[in-house]
Amino acid sequence: MSDWMLEAPQSGNGRVALVTGAARGIGLGIAAWLVSEGWQVVLTDIDRVRGAKVASALGDSAWFVRMDVSVEDDVIQCVAQVLGQFGRLDGLVCNAAIADPHNTPLESLDLERWNRVLAVNLTGPMLLAKHCAPYLRAHCGAIVNLASTRARQSEPDTEAYVASKGGLLALTHALAVSLGPQVRVNAVSPGWIDARDPSVRRAAPLTDADHAQHPAGRVGVVEDVAAMVAWLLSRNAGFVTGQEFVVDGGMSKKMIYGE
């Protein structure tokens, strides 16, 4: 008879999570959700001012550390601060990414830009896994990487972003095999998530057509992603590792050819 048990909704129980790219959008939504579930959450971002502000707004269970995930010394120092403050690490959420809304045509894509996107979106999660792994192992922790449905379907001129997210899916299952059984590693691939600030959403609301094209009947919100991440970090997902979870309202399963 196993001693494994389902966790109650308040699953954090004082455990410690590190969430990157958490000053806004999906990362902030994940951090807020984890705080609500009882986690101690360390938010990181390159935006020091906004990061500190949102961490303060989340209350005494949230802390902010400025970090560029592509810089190994930053990662080492951040992990040291987490361990110095809490003495443990139970969850890692790799959300920080460059998603340039102004797509660059291949003929104009310079190598510096390509390398920067890959450094943040793919090398960053590797560095974080490398330096967090010993502490996650000690507490049977979990890693969740934020990939994208763009890893499997593309729009024109998105080569750097798409390649980075496809690589992140491969890195996810590689880490799951390398770090198991003590550490589980999974990926969440969001589709269209309205992660804009509330004031922007009110000023420029989505249309009925935007929502209706989704089989789920609406565009996603950050809480849709946060709920999945929280479950994957919890012990309720103890038999789940090396997997990709698509949170896109069914769009990737819908035929899009015109009639």
For the chain, helix, strand, coil in percent to 5 are 45, 15, 40
The values of phi and psi at residue 230, to 5°, are -60, -40
Give the count of beta carbons closer than 10 Å to the beta carbon of residue 11. Answer: 18
SS3 217: coil
C-alpha to C-alpha distance for 55 and 65, rounded to whole angstroms: 10
Instruction: Give helix then strand counts, H and E, for the chain.
Output: 9, 9
Residue 150 DSSP symbol: G
Using alpha carbons, list the distances in angstroms from residue 56 to 37, 52, 61, 75, 158.
Answer: 17, 6, 9, 22, 35
C-alpha to C-alpha distance for 41 and 34, rounded to whole angstroms: 7
Known catalytic membership, residue 135: no
Specify the length of the chain in residues. 259
Using alpha carbons, list the distances in angstroms from residue 3 to 6, 139, 196, 238.
Answer: 10, 16, 43, 12
- Out of 11, 161, 189, 237, pick the active-site residue: 161
Residue from 97, 143, 100, 93 nearest 119 by CA: 97
Kindly give the pairing relationship between strand 40-45 and strand 16-19. Answer: parallel
Active site residues: 161
